[in-house]
Amino acid sequence: MIKKKKTPEATIPTSSMADIAFLLLIFFLVATTIDVDSGIGMTLPEFVEDIETVEVPKDRMAALLINETSDVLLDGQPISLFQITATLKPRIQSKIDLPKNKKLIVSIKTDRKTVYNAYISALDQVKEAFFEVRDEYSNSKYGKKFSDLDDEQKTEIKEAVPIIISIAEPEKIK
Amino acid sequence: MKFEKKRSSTKQEISTASMPDIIFMLLLFFMVTTTLREVEVLVNYSLPEAEAIEKIENKRLISYIWVGKEAKIQINDSLVKMDEIQNIMYGKRQALPNVIVSLRIDKSTDMGFVTDIQQELRKAYCLRINYSANIKI
């Protein structure tokens, strides 16, 4: 009888497993786009057919007008786009202690021909003003930045410094 | 007197047996965090830049609208017309009541066009929007 050759133990070599895993890893590393969606958040008003107009006292409003050449008017005064934050900040701060219905409203109005970029820059400046005021207020109250506060404190600051931005519809070009 | 150096009897090697496991852990992490781009963007756009930027906390709530140069609008996988937006977005809102609409609009677009889109969104009750912007460095 012919003796059978003794077969070696049948094992899958695992030494290359790390390499395979590495390859996969590199594929996913390259394919991953951890793109955080960031941007300027807004809430649009509900759509209503007939708009009822509410009179708002003049000192409560900050009206921003941006025209098609990116010139900015703040309450009738021409200012540069980058001054918006600095101009709005004291006005927001002066209204911190006032009741809820007396806080500053920033209204942004554009022309139909205004470039989107200019609008975003202006909106950015306005938001920046609100954020800076929030930060300073929370710093003076709790000694922390707004983003480091807990939820309860956050809502308190949010109530003191609400971000009210109204986007006015652009006028039709004459 | 001669001192004999004491040598440890164990081998001095880091065991590589657990390496695949570690790599697999990393791999799993990346596989889970990866969101492969599902939609092909058909419009050509470059986002504006801004500083006061917030991150959107929940990615699942986001629905995108792209607006490229030459005033093209894209929702999902296809280019749409202005008067179709309302229906599409209303459908989306019914599927996801608190949807956030991320507007990825080219920076040279006219505001009139943007406003028209916003009006459509308001009619579709998609009120939470986000103007997508890159961080200014």
Distance CA A45, CA B122 (A): 7
Would the CB atoms of A28 and B16 count as touching at under 8 Å?
no
DSSP A98: S
Contacts of B62 in chain A (CB under 8 A): 37
pLDDT at B131 over 60: yes
The amino acid present at B45, given as its one-letter code, is Y
pLDDT of residue B48: 86
Residues B31-78 pLDDT 10s: 787 766 667 778 888 888 888 888 877 777 888 888 888 888 888 888
User: Which SS3 state, helix, strand or coil, does residue A113 take?
Assistant: coil
Taking each helix axis from N to C end, the angle separating B111-123 and B85-95, rounded to the nearest 10 degrees, works out to: 50
Across the interface, do B50 and A120 touch by the CB < 8 Å criterion? yes
Tell me whether residues A43 and B54 touch, CB distance under 8 A: no
Q: Considering chain A, what percentage of its residues have pLDDT values greater than 90?
A: 0
| A146 contacts chain B (CB < 8 A) | no
Is the pLDDT at A170 greater than 80? The verdict is no
Which residues, listed in sequence order, are joined to residue A165 by a DSSP beta bridge?
Answer: A106
Residue B75's pLDDT is what?
A: 87
Cα–Cα dist B116/B90, whole Å: 16
User: Does residue A34 have a pLDDT over 70?
Assistant: no
Q: What is the bridge-based pairing of β-strands B134-135 and B49-50?
A: parallel
The yes-or-no verdict on residue A174 having pLDDT over 50 is no
Picking from B26, B34, B111, the nearest residue to A119 by CB comes out as: B111
Burial tier of A161 (Cβ tally within 10 Å: 0-12, 13-18, 19+): buried
The helix-helix angle for A116-142 and A84-93 (nearest 10°) equals 40
pLDDT of res. B35? 67
CA distance A1 to chain B (A): 43
Residue A66 · residue B65 · CB < 8 Å:
no
| Chain A touched by B54 (CB under 8 Å) | yes
Query: What pLDDT shows up at residue A49?
Result: 73
Q: Does A13 touch chain B (CB under 8 A)?
A: no
Per-residue pLDDT of A108-139, as tens digits, reads 888 888 888 888 888 888 888 888 888 888 88
SS3 A143: coil
Q: Give pLDDT, residue B85.
A: 86
- Determine, for residues B36 and A17 on separate chains, whether the beta-carbon distance falls below 8 Å: no
Distance between A27 CA and the closest CA of chain B, angstroms:
9
Among B112, B67, B111, which Cα is nearest to B85's?
B67
At position B16, the amino acid (one-letter code) is T
Please give the pLDDT value at position A36: 65
- Give dist(CA B34, CA B45) in Å, integer: 24
Q: How far apart are CA A44 and CA A96, in angstroms?
A: 24
Q: Convert the pLDDT of each residue in B14-31 to its tens digit.
A: 777 787 788 888 888 887
d(CA A125, CA A88): 9
CB pairs under 8 A between A and B: 153
- Per residue, what are the HEC states of chain B? CCCCCCCCCCCCCCCCCCHHHHHHHHHHHHHHHCCCCCCCCCCCCCCCEECCCEECCCHHHEEEEEECHHHCEEECCEEECHHHHHHHHHHHHHHCCCCEEEEEECCCCEHHHHHHHHHHHHHCCCCEEEEECEECC
What distance in Å separates the CA atoms of residue B81 and residue B75, rounded to the nearest whole number? 10
Confidence of residue B1 (pLDDT cuts 50, 70, 90): low
Picking from B54, B123, B125, the nearest residue to A38 by CB comes out as B54
pLDDT digits (tens, 9 = 90+) for A95-105: 888 887 788 88
Provide the ipTM.
Answer: 0.72
When comparing pLDDT for A40 and B58, which is higher?
A40
> Nearest C-alpha of chain B: how many angstroms from A81?
13
Residue B37 has what pLDDT?
A: 63
- Least confident span in A6-20, A62-76, B69-83: A6-20
Residue A115 DSSP label: B
- B3 compared with A83, residue with greater pLDDT: A83
Q: Which among B66, B132, B75 is positioned nearest to A117, based on CA atoms? A: B132
